[in-house]
Amino acid sequence: MTAANSAALASIWLTDYKPTVSYVKRVLRDPALAEDIAMQAFVKLGERMEQRLVLQPRELLRQITHGLVTDTVRLKDRRPLPSSFDEEASEQDSFGAGGYLATDNTFPVEFDAAVRDMPAELRDVYILTELRGVSKEEAADLLGISRRTAYRRAAEATTSIRKELAA
C-alpha cells in the first residue's frame, strides 16, 4: 500500500470507525458482531485501496459496510436475534424451543415457524422493521429496494403471519 493510501486509511479509521460500528450495532443489535463487521469493512477498504486508486474512500466504506450488513441480514437464519442493545444481555440470550426467534420463549413456536416459512424477501423486511426496529426507509436502503417496496413487503409479511397464526 502506498504511503498516501496508508495515511488516508488511517485518517478514515480515526474518523469513521466508531460511527461505522454504531450504524451496524443499530441495525443488527449485536455489539460483538458490529465490531467484527466494521473491521471486515475496513480490511476490504484497505484491500481495494491497494488494488486501485479510490477516489471516494468514505463512500466506498459505506458501500462495503452496507453490503456486509445486508449479507448478515440475509443469513439471519444462522444468527440469533439479541434481546437488546446491551452487550451483557446479548451474551446471555437463550434460544427456546421456538428456534432462533424464540429468545427466552418470548415468541411462540408458531410465530417462529410463520416467519421462517415466509418468502425471503418478505422475511428480510419483516425482521428488520418489526423485530429489529429499523425504519422501513432504512430497511429499503439496506436491502437495495425502493421504499414503496419495503412498505408493501412489510404489510404482506404482517398479513402472512396473521393468516398463519389464525390457521
State whether 50 and 106 are in the same domain.
no
Residues 110-157: tens digit of each pLDDT: 777 778 888 888 888 888 887 777 788 888 888 888 999 999 999 998
State whether 104 and 156 are in the same domain.
yes
pLDDT of residue 5: 73
- Top pLDDT among 84 and 29 is at 29
State whether 57 and 121 are in the same domain.
no
Angle between helices 31-51 and 57-74 (to 10 degrees): 130
pLDDT of residue 79: 42
Average pLDDT, whole number, for the chain? 75
State whether 130 and 71 are in the same domain.
no
Q: What is the mean pLDDT of residues 71-100?
A: 44
pLDDT of residue 53: 67
Whether residue 83 lies inside any domain: the answer is no
Looking up residue 13, the CATH number of its domain turns out to be: 1.10.1740
State whether 72 and 108 are in the same domain.
no
Contacts of 102 (CB under 8 A, 6+ apart): 95, 96, 108, 109, 112
Domain that includes residue 133, residue range: 94-166
Residue 83 has pLDDT above 60, yes or no: no
* 13-17, 93-97, 128-132: segment of lowest average pLDDT: 93-97
State whether 46 and 106 are in the same domain.
no
Total tally of structural domains belonging to the chain: 2
Last residue of a domain, one of 25, 43, 76: 76
